[in-house]
Amino acid sequence: DSGVTQTPKHLITATGQRVTLRCSPRSGDLSVYWYQQSLDQGLQFLIQYYNGEERAKGNILERFSAQQFPDLHSELNLSSLELGDSALYFCASSVGLGTGGRNNEQFFGPGTRLTVL
């Protein structure tokens, strides 16, 4: 158990719909990351938040958005869903940013499996 929790575990929805995935980081971790894992694209970094602020963006679609709340939990919002959005969505957390030569070990949650029909 990494200490990172994600809800829900599974989500089945239809095209065009909007869903929200939730992540609670490990106690004390300030950074939250979102990743998407699909068969064709593999594991892709989507976005990172640190202490409530967006810090880095990856291959995140404009239909997707995220935020980190004052209690440090994070939500990933996916809208206008398409079949191709079906994937495992992982949240990870780490203590800090990894700047100044420090390392940035990330701890992953169990993931949310999204199926778009």
Binding mask 49-68 toward another protein (x if CB under 8 A, else -) reads -x----xx-x----------
The minimum distance between CB 34 and another protein, in angstroms, equals 11
Looking at the Cβ atoms of 43 and 83, the one nearer to another protein is 43
The minimum distance between CB 49 and another protein, in angstroms, equals 11
Task: Report the C-alpha gap between 67 and 115 in whole angstroms.
Answer: 22
Question: How far is residue 51 from each of residues 7, 21, 38, 93, measured CA to CA in Å?
Answer: 20, 19, 28, 11
Task: Report the C-alpha gap between 30 and 97 in whole angstroms.
Answer: 8
The minimum distance between CB 57 and another protein, in angstroms, equals 9
Task: Report the C-alpha gap between 34 and 30 in whole angstroms.
Answer: 14
103 binds another protein (CB under 8 A): yes
45 binds another protein (CB under 8 A): yes
Q: Which of 28, 39, 21, 13 is nearest to 109 (CA)?
A: 21
Positions touching another protein (CB under 8 A) are 2, 4, 31, 33, 35, 42-45, 48, 50, 55-56, 58, 88, 90, 92, 94, 97-111, 113
